[in-house]
Structure 1
Amino acid sequence: MSNKRQKILIVFGTRPEAIKMAPLIHDLKKLPNEFEVIVCVTAQHREMLDQALSFFGITPDIDLNLMKSGQTISGLVASVLASVAQVIEGKQPDMLLVHGDTSTTLATAMAGFFAGIPIGHVEAGLRTHRMMEPFPEEFNRQVVSKIARWNFAPTEGNRSNLLSESFEDASITVTGNTVIDALFLALDQIDRDPAQVNSITESLSRQLPFDWRSERFALITGHRRENFGDGIKQICKAISALAKDYPSVHFVYPVHLNPQILWPVQDLLKGYANIHLIDPLGYPEFVYLMKHCFVVLTDSGGIQEEAPSLGKPVLVMRDVSERPEAISFGTVKLVGTKSEAIIHGVKELLDSESAYQKMAQQTNPYGDGQACKRIIEVLRGVHAK
């Protein structure tokens, strides 16, 4: 094995990236004789990113702090590309790790490619095969795959996507999704600390005027760009109708701060006794609430992967998904963004115990919590050469 430690630069910018990369960062740092880990954040999401970093105990070595009010996608990509290029020039890493499909991921991978640095793409191979759905994520992940040396695919389906695009089999490793590693790490961290359990419980109880630990409630998230406009209005129409039809069921919606989501949600859903619009939650609070909910309604990707590990059915309010495995396994149902379909999907789970259990008891297709171990095995193999 080479005596030289491999210098790994890990770059991310959003809360989901921070959550999914946190266990990998911790595991790599347990091997200080083999790897020097440099963590760089772009702060594409500032406040929400900081919450996740704090919870997982990660202090970035470099904080580019690039978030600006009203920033365009083009402006963000340009800023990240230029800034990360400078970081690469200064740090001279041996390899670069990026995650998923954000603008930070795209621009960072481009900077690494231009500098000749080998790139590892964590959560590679997800596809809708529709370039505008989701926008710009589908474009981002396809481009990053093309310039990555190592594609860490969560599932066999993701691997098949890459093989069908003529990627070499040797460049692909099926790992499971690191979000499951992060979920188990988070729950273990919470459960081992009674003070944290009390703090989370008190915080949630201050925001929710019902017994969320025993009463049925749906947990809702919605923020996708493709749902701006009519999509979010249809979602709100469904939630309001369900709230009227099921007065004993609560609907908890931590509302994204983007005005394209916040304003219509506030306008259409305020004033219902059993609809609770709350501020975005920190990761530990959200995980704990997800653990206690009855069902999840979401347009998020990560939640589709996490919730099945907690035995929670997920209804996805999108017209197409890059995560078909969960649909095939039956842990997730794609209901689209039309209010009638959302209402039907929720009613079926509320009214039918068998329909509910059929989804709740399925195996999670996204892994066993050992994804980081499999990624590190590949990187150690590189180090040994």
Structure 2
Amino acid sequence: MKKRKIAIFTGSRAEYGILRPIIRKVIDSPNLDLQLVVSAVHFINKFGSTSSDIYKDKFPVVAKISMTLPNETEGKMGFEVGDGVMKLTKLFLKLQPDILLLTGDRSETFAAAIAGALLPIPVAHIHGGEISKAGIDESMRHAITKLAHLHFATSKKSKSNIIQMGENPENVFLVGAPGLDEFVACEKINEKQLSRKLKIIIKHPLLVILQHPITTSVTDSSLDMRKTLRSLNTFNGTKILIYPNGDPGSEAMIVEIEKYRKKKGLYVFQSIGRFEYINLLRAADVLVGNSSGGIIETASCGLPTVNIGPRQEGRERNTNIVDVNSNEKEILIAITKCLKDQNFISKVQKIRNVYGDGNASGGIVKILSEIELEKGLIQKQFYATKN
């Protein structure tokens, strides 16, 4: 039997953490052949040059595609998408994958979806149907859904949303969030081992800060970062701050972060490897910021999370999330609740994550191996839902 070629595209550290357990299972599958394409933010030194994480995992990479402009300029994302579509079209014509697997809603992923759909290659998409009302991510996520042919939903609500958008219910699969798979399977290390790996001194309370710009309000990003940083001054202990993603507004945020780098107890990282990151969240007392991982993943390790601002507004939540505006006082009150409200902390530790139980990747790879790739899959029709 001829192996089915699965092209997997990754453009950022966040995507790679989601895709890694799937990549492993594709490699192990006797029916599939991996074509791993690495691009975009993975190659930017400022954000930790995270392509090195992929090579450390010893995954075979078939292509490296640059599509990121070196500096923030007007129209940056549009130029990058255009560049990406051209380069990825040429690449996919060469690779001739049977299925293109994507996750999320970033601009480089959007470019890959356009290139794949126009060739046409069956596009499989993870994390469609989710809602986040702020930022261009919302529009790109739903646009990718309409370009995709197979849909791996992470929750019952997101599955329903995908079907509501006119997608064939037979091609929408509820699998859970694959990023949780490693939270279940990842080897646990103690705080002493974690301290050595990250070269830090851990003192509680241990706060992890991960905050990104909002692409539709870029000018507010540095001020929002400053407010978050100021709110941390009240707390002793260790604070681990990880650089934002490479979206417009990130450079101004990094300028603010560097002003605080020498604060006592604060450690700043461009990026942290997935293994270390998972164990950091296991050890932490609270996560602060606005990342989708904070919404989706932290319930799986019983971690209270302060979600700042509108970036994740509308996304399904577990009850470990405390939502606040970008306001120093509100952030301070929320962090204090996460650290001292024993009733809240006790409930958080017993949460069952709405995004699954950490077994998504096996289901995804099984579907990729077995689904029929007939003409009707590519020739999409709008499926109207009954009122």
1:243 aligns with 2:240: no
| Superposition map of 1:240-319 within 5 A | 240-244=230-234, 246=235, 248-256=236-244, 258-267=250-259, 269=260, 272-319=263-310
Query: Does 346-355 or 89-98 show the bigger shift?
Result: 346-355
| Contact kept? 2:128, 2:145, Cα under 8 Å | yes
| Superposition map of 1:339-358 within 5 A | 339-358=328-347
| Superposition map of 1:1-385 within 5 A | 3-32=1-30, 34-46=31-43, 47-70=48-71, 72-128=76-132, 130=133, 133-135=134-136, 137-185=137-185, 187-188=186-187, 198=193, 200-204=194-198, 206=199, 208=200, 210-212=201-203, 215-226=204-215, 228-244=218-234, 246=235, 248-256=236-244, 258-267=250-259, 269=260, 272-321=263-312, 324-326=315-317, 329-382=318-371
| Contact kept? 2:214, 2:221, Cα under 8 Å | no
Identify if the C-alpha distance between structure 1 residues 52 and 366 changes in structure 2 by more than 3 Å, giving closer, same or farther.
farther
Instruction: Quote how far apart the aligned CAs of 1:114 are.
Output: 0.9
CA distance in 2, matches of 1:22, 1:316: 25
User: Which structure has more helix as a fraction of its residues?
Assistant: 1
TM-score, structure 1 as length reference: 0.85
Instruction: Quote how far apart the aligned CAs of 1:81 are.
Output: 0.6
> Which amino acid letter does the alignment assign opposite residue 294 of structure 1?
D
Kindly tell me the number of residue pairs found equivalent between the two proteins: 361
**Partner residue of 2:377?**
none
**Partner residue of 2:383?**
none
Match of 2:85, SS?
helix
Match of 2:176, SS?
coil
CA distance in 2, matches of 1:378, 1:278: 37
Q: Deviations for 1:56-100, whole angstroms, at most 9, x for unmatched residues? A: 332311112333412611121112111111111112121111111
Match of 1:61, SS?
strand
CA distance in 2, matches of 1:272, 1:104: 35
> Which amino acid letter does the alignment assign opposite residue 12 of structure 1?
T
Identify if the C-alpha distance between structure 1 residues 201 and 348 changes in structure 2 by more than 3 Å, giving closer, same or farther.
closer
Q: Deviations for 1:110-139, whole angstroms, at most 9, x for unmatched residues? A: 1111101111011221123x4xx222x112
Identify if the C-alpha distance between structure 1 residues 322 and 162 changes in structure 2 by more than 3 Å, giving closer, same or farther.
farther
Identify if the C-alpha distance between structure 1 residues 282 and 4 changes in structure 2 by more than 3 Å, giving closer, same or farther.
closer
> Which amino acid letter does the alignment assign opposite residue 82 of structure 1?
M
Name stretches of at least 5 consecutive residues in structure 2 with no aligned partner: 375-387
| Contact kept? 1:39, 1:60, Cα under 8 Å | yes
Match of 1:337, SS?
coil
CA distance in 2, matches of 1:223, 1:325: 19
CA distance in 2, matches of 1:94, 1:271: 50
TM-score, structure 2 as length reference: 0.85
Aligned-pair identity in percent equals: 20
Identify if the C-alpha distance between structure 1 residues 122 and 270 changes in structure 2 by more than 3 Å, giving closer, same or farther.
closer
Match of 2:316, SS?
helix
Q: Deviations for 1:239-291, whole angstroms, at most 9, x for unmatched residues? A: 434423x4x34333233484211112333x35543444444323333222222
| Contact kept? 1:228, 1:260, Cα under 8 Å | no
Root mean square deviation, CA, Å: 2.5
CA distance in 2, matches of 1:29, 1:271: 43
Q: Deviations for 1:204-245, whole angstroms, at most 9, x for unmatched residues? A: 2x3x3x434xx212111112234744454345335434423x
CA distance in 2, matches of 1:184, 1:358: 20
CA distance in 1, matches of 2:227, 2:268: 15
Name stretches of at least 5 consecutive residues in structure 1 with no aligned partner: none
| Contact kept? 2:11, 2:39, Cα under 8 Å | yes
